[in-house]
């Protein structure tokens, strides 16, 4: 008979031991938050996706009134385009050398007499520096062309306004950022890592040091023992989930839908990977082998399940492999709930995860031996 | 009439072609400390683990407090206390917390302070297990074995690897438990430990019991008879041989005279006195447990009384 009292007392001892061990706490809570800070900073840093563009304005006048300073208006329009972050370079510098000294490839040079030429209708060129191998250069030349076209139009009709415009949007009702896609992946990652590595380690170490034998001499059953570990990792994963979501929202302004659909994923995920870790620790002979097998199982899952990169960017055969990874369905489910609000899709993921979890949990219990024949 | 806590007959356990336990039979009476003695690989731990329900027996009958240890393991474990060999526990738990944990698992009311006092561990009650000394760790194991107030205790090499002071402290605890009427099965490969603690011992070698009984009885059965030792010369030894009908041996300045009866000593001494040779100190001697052990078992005993195995090919 399963005893709640025994599970509770084992949970108390295990969680206290876990909290007393700084290392476990680091991997359980600090590490996931660090990941989200690092990836969030890399992919959605403070330039908000803008490209650095060096600009040198050699047309310093003098101008009889500010309306005559077309060069400055040109710079301001470029600055308002929203795609570039302008870095102004003093007119006395040699622009080409300056770019090289700053390891920069993208730059725009406005020549002396630019305003005068524009106002008198004489042809004048701005020089655009770029590196054809960098994806940024295409964006720069497109942006500058757009501004030039606008000024050409203005020359012929100063009151003209564009006829065709653009309404930018994404698939969600709210504006979606990279960090919004990143958070479900990293949550999936933390659901995988902490219970999996921990249980691989514990189950093989306890076997080696005969702690399981010791526990088998008490009324505690192996089902109760595993249950208390699963409960602990559900609690830990939920806490790390909340921390990651909070960091995502407050540090990166992520848009995340939180609702009741997340709960089954946060329960089944840790249960699945705690059981899988237990299974690996159980079927291997010693902690060293367990560690190796644990890594063989974990690493492909870590990278191929859509944790850091969406799997749609991968070749087809890797996408096929991703579909046999249990973590894939957890991350897809989290994405369906948190980003797309697609609950029909989430339900399918949930069923798949539920079946895999049940099979692995029962296999771990069945194969796990307290005592030897 | 109380039944014996342990009844074992014709117990066998083979691993492939290794006979770990080979047809052993013994019983243990209530309140007794029974020592299983033998070199590493003799089969002590296999035997004790079968009794604890941690291993399945190969053949034979095993009854521990009337139960089949393998089939009724769950029931049995509520009634016995065990320290497995190389006892270890969670690193970040204190002895007091460990006792409370066990009390919850066994669903019993335990008094941690009393148990800690019984095992002489009050001073380290709140130290993490990983920071305890070897002796304190073993005492924690003893404390856990006592949580469910068992009448029968299994101590598998409780002092292996401990320094002499720590060993004596554990002995004190074990003697205290005996005084409370507990039955104790003890395995050890320290002869002095077996002699100090056990009411009876069984000496195991290659899976068989080669001698069993009280230490005195084993020495009497398997040791040499009492002998008189005289410090003297080879010439004196020859003189005694020629002038008495006693069996005399000489080895490195010691003349050893076998005594069939105590009065034989007088004849030997009279002969020595009659001779004109000098002789020194005299005393009588009989085989110690060490001497008997070396005769019975394929092992040696080192200076500290620990058994060293010459060839270890069986599974422990």
- pLDDT tens sequence across A250-298: 888 888 878 899 999 999 999 999 999 999 998 988 889 999 999 999 9
- Give the separation between CA B254 and CA B249, rounded to whole angstroms: 8
Confidence tier at B316 by pLDDT (50, 70, 90) = very low
* pLDDT score at A172: 52
DSSP structure string for A178-197: HHHHHHHHHHHHHHHHHHHH
Average pLDDT over residues A84-98: 88
- The structural architecture, per CATH, of the domain A51-156 is 3-Layer(aba) Sandwich (3.40)
Is A13 near chain B, with CB under 8 Å? yes
Tell me the β-bridge partners of B187.
Answer: B36, B156
- pLDDT tens sequence across B268-287: 999 998 998 888 899 888 88
The alpha-carbon gap from B153 to the nearest alpha carbon of chain A, in Å, equals 12
Chain-chain contact of A213 with B53 (C-beta, under 8 angstroms)? no
Query: 3.30.70.260, 3.40.50.720, 1.20.1630.10, 3.30.70.1400: which CATH number matches B225-285?
Result: 3.30.70.260
- What number of other Cβ atoms are within 10 A of residue B17's Cβ? 5
Please state whether the predicted TM-score (pTM) of the whole model is above 0.80: no
- pLDDT tens sequence across A125-148: 999 988 877 777 788 888 888 888
Residue range B6-79+150-221, CATH number: 3.40.50.300
- Write down the domain spans for chain B: 6-79+150-221, 225-285
CB pairs under 8 A between A and B: 71
Phi-psi category of residue B61: left, alpha or beta, with phi > 0 → left and psi -120 to 50 → alpha: beta
Chain-chain contact of A371 with B55 (C-beta, under 8 angstroms)? yes
- pLDDT tens sequence across B18-70: 889 999 999 999 999 999 998 888 889 899 999 999 899 999 999 999 999 99
* pLDDT score at B303: 56
The alpha-carbon gap from A220 to the nearest alpha carbon of chain B, in Å, equals 6
Average pLDDT over residues A96-106: 86
Per-residue pLDDT at B161 exceeds 70 = yes
Per-residue pLDDT at A20 exceeds 70 = yes
Chain-chain contact of A217 with B52 (C-beta, under 8 angstroms)? yes
- Give the separation between CA B257 and CA B241, rounded to whole angstroms: 9
Q: How much of chain B exceeds pLDDT 70, in percent?
A: 93
Average pLDDT over residues A337-357: 92
DSSP 8-state secondary structure symbol assigned to residue B214: -
Burial grade of A88 (CB within 10 A; 0-12, 13-18, 19 or more): exposed
Average pLDDT over residues A187-210: 90
Confidence tier at B307 by pLDDT (50, 70, 90) = low
- Give the separation between CA A255 and CA A172, rounded to whole angstroms: 10
Average pLDDT over residues B289-294: 82
Tokens of A64: 């009889």
Q: Compute the mean pLDDT over every residue in chain A, rounded to the nearest whole number.
A: 86
Residues of B in contact with A213 (CB under 8 A): 54, 84
Residues of B in contact with A224 (CB under 8 A): none
* pLDDT score at A151: 85
Is A20 near chain B, with CB under 8 Å? yes
Q: Which helix (H) or strand (E) holds A88?
A: strand A84-89
CB A115 within 8 Å of CB A151: no
Among chain A residues, CA nearest to B81: A217
Q: Give the helix ranges, DSSP H, for A44-113.
A: 70-79, 95-101
Confidence tier at B302 by pLDDT (50, 70, 90) = low
Do B6-79+150-221 and B225-285 have matching folds? no
Residues of A in contact with B56 (CB under 8 A): 373
Per-residue pLDDT at A352 exceeds 80 = yes
Average pLDDT over residues A64-68: 81
Higher pLDDT, A260 or B289: A260
Q: Which of residues 215-274 of A touch B (CB under 8 A)?
A: 216-220
- pLDDT tens sequence across B64-94: 999 999 999 889 999 999 998 889 999 999 9
**Which residues have CB under 8 Å from A284's CB, separation 6+?**
A204, A290, A293
* pLDDT score at A347: 94
Per-residue pLDDT at B313 exceeds 60 = no
Per-residue pLDDT at A45 exceeds 70 = no
* pLDDT score at A47: 46
Per-residue pLDDT at B299 exceeds 80 = no
Tokens of A289: 């082998």
- Give the separation between CA B244 and CA B70, rounded to whole angstroms: 62
* pLDDT score at A143: 87
Q: Which of A6, A16, A373 sits opposite B56 (nearest CB)?
A: A373
Say if residue B4 is preceded by a cis peptide, omega within 30 of 0: no
Q: Give the helix ranges, DSSP H, for chain B.
A: 44-52, 73-77, 95-106, 112-118, 134-146, 164-179, 191-197, 215-222, 234-243, 264-274, 289-296
* pLDDT score at A40: 80
Per-residue pLDDT at B312 exceeds 50 = no
* pLDDT score at B315: 41
Q: Which of A214, A371, A372 sits opposite B89 (nearest CB)?
A: A214
Query: Which of A217, A221, A224, A372 to probe the B interface (max B CBs under 10 A)?
Result: A217
* pLDDT score at B1: 45
Average pLDDT over residues B124-146: 93
Query: Where do the CATH 3.40.1710.10 domains begin and end in chain A?
Result: 51-156
- pLDDT tens sequence across B110-120: 999 999 998 88
CB A7 within 8 Å of CB A227: yes
Higher pLDDT, B224 or B53: B53
Tokens of A173: 């009702």
Q: Which of A17, A21, A218 sits opposite B105 (nearest CB)?
A: A218
* pLDDT score at A361: 93
* pLDDT score at B216: 86
Judged by average pLDDT, the poorest of A14-18, A230-234, B190-194, B200-204 is B190-194
- Beta strands at B200-205 and B33-37: parallel, antiparallel or unpaired: parallel
Confidence tier at B306 by pLDDT (50, 70, 90) = low
């Amino acid at each position: 008979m399963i005893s709640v009292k025994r599970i509770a007392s084992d949970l108390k001892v295990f969680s206290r031991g876990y909290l007393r061990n700084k290392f476990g706490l680091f991997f359980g809570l600090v590490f996931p938050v660090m990941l989200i800070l690092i990836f969030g900073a890399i992919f959605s840093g403070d330039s908000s996706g803008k490209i650095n563009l060096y600009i040198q304005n050699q047309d310093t006048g003098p101008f009889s009134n500010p309306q005559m300073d077309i060069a400055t208006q040109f710079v301001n329009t470029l600055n308002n385009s929203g795609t570039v972050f302008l870095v102004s370079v003093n007119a006395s510098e040699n622009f080409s050398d300056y770019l090289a000294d700053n390891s920069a490839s993208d730059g725009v040079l406005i020549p002396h007499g630019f305003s005068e030429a524009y106002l008198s209708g004489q042809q004048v060129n701005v020089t655009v520096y770029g590196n054809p191998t960098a994806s940024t250069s295409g964006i720069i030349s497109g942006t500058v062309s757009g501004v030039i076209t606008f000024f050409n139009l203005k020359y012929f009709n100063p009151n003209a306004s564009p006829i065709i415009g653009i309404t930018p949007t994404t698939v969600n009702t709210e504006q979606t950022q990279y960090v919004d896609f990143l958070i479900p992946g990293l949550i999936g990652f933390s659901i995988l890592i902490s219970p999996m590595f921990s249980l691989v380690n514990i189950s093989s170490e306890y076997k080696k040091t005969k702690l399981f034998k010791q526990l088998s001499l008490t009324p505690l059953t192996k089902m109760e023992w595993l249950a208390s570990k699963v409960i602990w990792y559900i609690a830990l994963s939920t806490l790390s989930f909340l921390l990651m979501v909070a960091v995502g929202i407050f540090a990166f302004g992520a848009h995340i839908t939180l609702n009741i659909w997340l709960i089954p994923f946060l329960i089944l995920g840790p249960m699945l990977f705690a059981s899988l870790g237990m299974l690996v620790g159980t079927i291997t002979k010693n902690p060293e082998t367990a560690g190796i097998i644990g890594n063989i199982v974990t690493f492909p899952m870590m990278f191929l399940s859509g944790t850091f990169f969406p799997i749609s960017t991968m070749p087809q055969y890797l996408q096929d492999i991703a579909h046999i990874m249990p973590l894939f369905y957890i991350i897809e489910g989290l994405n369906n709930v948190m980003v797309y609000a697609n609950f029909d899709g989430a339900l399918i993921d949930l069923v798949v995860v539920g079946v895999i979890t049940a099979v692995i949990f029962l296999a771990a219990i069945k194969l796990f031996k307290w005592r030897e024949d | 009439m109380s039944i014996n806590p342990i009844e074992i007959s014709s117990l066998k356990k083979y691993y492939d072609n290794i006979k770990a336990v080979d047809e052993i039979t013994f019983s243990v009476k209530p309140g007794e400390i029974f020592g299983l003695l033998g070199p590493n690989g003799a089969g002590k731990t296999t035997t004790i683990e079968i009794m604890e329900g941690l291993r399945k027996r190969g053949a034979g009958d095993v009854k521990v407090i009337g139960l089949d240890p393998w089939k009724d393991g769950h029931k049995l474990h509520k009634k016995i206390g065990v320290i497995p060999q190389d006892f270890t526990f969670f690193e970040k738990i204190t002895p007091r917390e460990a006792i409370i944990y066990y009390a919850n698992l066994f669903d019993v009311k335990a008094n941690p302070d009393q148990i800690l006092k019984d095992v002489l561990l009050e001073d380290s009650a709140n130290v993490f297990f990983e920071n305890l000394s070897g002796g304190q760790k073993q005492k924690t194991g003893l404390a856990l074995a006592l949580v469910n107030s068992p009448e029968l205790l299994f101590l598998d090499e409780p002092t292996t690897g401990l320094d002499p002071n720590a060993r004596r402290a554990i002995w004190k605890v074990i003697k205290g438990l005996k005084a409370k009427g507990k039955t104790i099965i003890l395995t050890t490969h320290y002869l002095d430990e077996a002699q100090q603690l056990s009411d009876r011992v069984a000496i195991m070698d290659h899976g068989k019991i080669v001698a069993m009984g009280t230490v005195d009885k084993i020495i009497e059965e398997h040791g040499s008879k009492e002998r008189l030792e005289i410090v003297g010369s080879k010439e004196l030894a020859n003189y005694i041989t020629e002038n008495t009908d006693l069996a005399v041996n000489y080895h490195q300045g010691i003349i050893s005279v076998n005594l069939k009866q105590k009065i034989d000593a007088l004849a030997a001494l009279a002969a020595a006195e009659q001779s004109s040779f000098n002789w020194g100190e005299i005393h009588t001697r009989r085989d110690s447990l060490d001497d008997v052990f070396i005769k019975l078992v394929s092992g040696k005993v080192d200076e500290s009384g620990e058994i060293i195995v010459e060839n270890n090919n069986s599974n422990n």
